[in-house]
Amino acid sequence: MIGARLKQARLLAGMTQRELARELGEAGFKISAAAISKYEKEKSFPTARFMLLASSVLGVPSTYLMHQPAIEVQWTAFRRHSRFGKRNQEAVMAYAADIAELQVELHATLYPDSCPNLPAPAQAQEYRDAEDIARQVRAAWDVGNRPLDNLVQTAEDRGVIVIGWNDESERFDGLSGWCSGYPVAVINSNRSADRRRFNLAHEIGHLVMDTSQSRVDEESLAHRFAAALLVPAEHAYRELGKERRHLDWGELMMLKRKYGLSMAAWIRRARDLNIISERHYEELNVERSKLGWRQCEPVVYLGDEEPLQLKQMVQRVVAEGLVSPDRMTRIGVDFWEPEPEESESQHLTVYDLLAMPEDEREAVMQRAFELAAEEDFEIFEANEIFDDYDELFDGK
């Protein structure tokens, strides 16, 4: 599987085979793109020198290329801008596949008796089906109709593998699929918190809805599911009423802060549930454009929508000695390690000795004994040691 890992590392680095060959050539290793292609297809096998130099050029630990993937990800939906090129798409999928594989392995190690809690895909042909399936997901997650304070961590707690990919071009929104029975959702971590929430809800919609016989556009159904997951119809009616002639921007700002759903999405939600008319919906969007709120709304949702499950599991397996730290760094996963405090003294303390491997500690102590044997020490009688101190306490 060295070929697959080499290709994965190259895609993660955003390099073509020709670019990798050129970088290796500049490092003193002459090779053609055709030879690299053979390595990736495993029609021939690379030398140890190639492996070391390639790992350095690609920015991965040398052990990365030797790791054999045990599982694959079956991608089902990829939402991105048309200008988000093939190379970028491959890089996202390569990174997400690596992270998903690691998370499945860690889940099996730490939670061997648990399984993802996400309803099986159900037929969704119309918008009302998306609403019903969103209610089913909330019921399965036992969250009732209350606002979801943190959708990312709610999903992670139910076994959804949530992966962040930082795309500054803003041309990538989401990717979803399945990895060994685990649902996988990739979101753009460079988006605002409310946008990350909606994008994650959208990807979950792709995972729980079977749209093969849908009479509605698949993306539109996923949008409707996302809005229903974040704001159930019952809550929308409670907050806005059953019918409104006019929506106030001030109340929409407050609702965004409460539910983590953008003002634009709230307007759309109100229209979809027939709370406002199509005409008022269009009027609000025109006004929103005039106010310059299409790109940046006047109020920010302050929720924390960051995937934490992987970092937490990595900390635990490393702390418990279940996995080597080197294994974690193969994909660039950071974990916290305390930095040893530097002693002002040049002498080793007992804590320094205890922290050493046994053979190193014995060598240090043996050397200390040898040095001590070369020193001259003045011999005291036992009682003489306390004579000076006794004078301090005479008459007291």
pLDDT in tens, 279-300: 999 999 999 999 999 989 999 9
Q: What is the pLDDT of residues 97-107, one digit of tens each?
A: 889 988 998 99
Contact at 8 Å (CB) between 343 and 349? yes
User: Is the pLDDT assigned to residue 314 strictly greater than 90?
Assistant: no
- Domains, the chain, with CATH or none: 2-66 (1.10.260.40), 69-230+307-335 (no CATH), 233-305 (no CATH)
Cα angle for residues 245, 246, 252 (degrees, 5° grid):
140
- Position 331 scores a pLDDT of 52
What is the average per-residue pLDDT within 93-116? 90
Q: Which has more confidence, 346 or 325?
A: 325
CA–CA separation, 206 and 222 (whole Å): 6
What is the average per-residue pLDDT within 337-349? 55
- Position 380 scores a pLDDT of 46
Long-range CB pairs of 127-133, under 8 A, 24+ apart, other chains included? 127/216, 127/220, 127/221, 127/224, 127/272, 129/209, 129/221, 130/205, 130/209, 130/221, 130/222, 130/224, 130/225, 130/228, 131/224, 131/225, 131/228, 131/233, 133/205, 133/208, 133/209, 133/225
Average per-residue pLDDT for the chain: 85
Q: Which has more confidence, 371 or 57?
A: 57
Q: Which has more confidence, 382 or 128?
A: 128
- Position 5 scores a pLDDT of 79
Q: What is the pLDDT of residues 222-272, one digit of tens each?
A: 999 999 999 999 999 999 999 999 999 999 999 999 999 999 999 999 999
Q: Which has more confidence, 356 or 182?
A: 182
Q: Which residues of 163-191 are buried (b: 16+ CB within 10 A; e: fewer)?
A: bbbebeeeebbbbbbbbbebbbbbbbeeb
pLDDT category, 389, cuts 50, 70, 90? very low
Measured on CA atoms in the order 124, 128, 134, 137, is the torsion positive or negative?
A: negative
CA–CA separation, 232 and 261 (whole Å): 12
User: Is the pLDDT assigned to residue 92 strictly greater than 50?
Assistant: yes
- Position 376 scores a pLDDT of 60
pLDDT category, 349, cuts 50, 70, 90? low
- DSSP, res 177: E
- Position 346 scores a pLDDT of 55
Q: What is the pLDDT of residues 133-175, one digit of tens each?
A: 999 999 999 998 889 989 999 999 999 999 999 888 888 999 9
Write the single-letter amino acid at 95. Y
User: Is the pLDDT assigned to residue 379 strictly greater than 60?
Assistant: no
Measured on CA atoms in the order 50, 56, 58, 60, is the torsion positive or negative?
A: positive
User: Is the pLDDT assigned to residue 333 strictly greater than 80?
Assistant: no
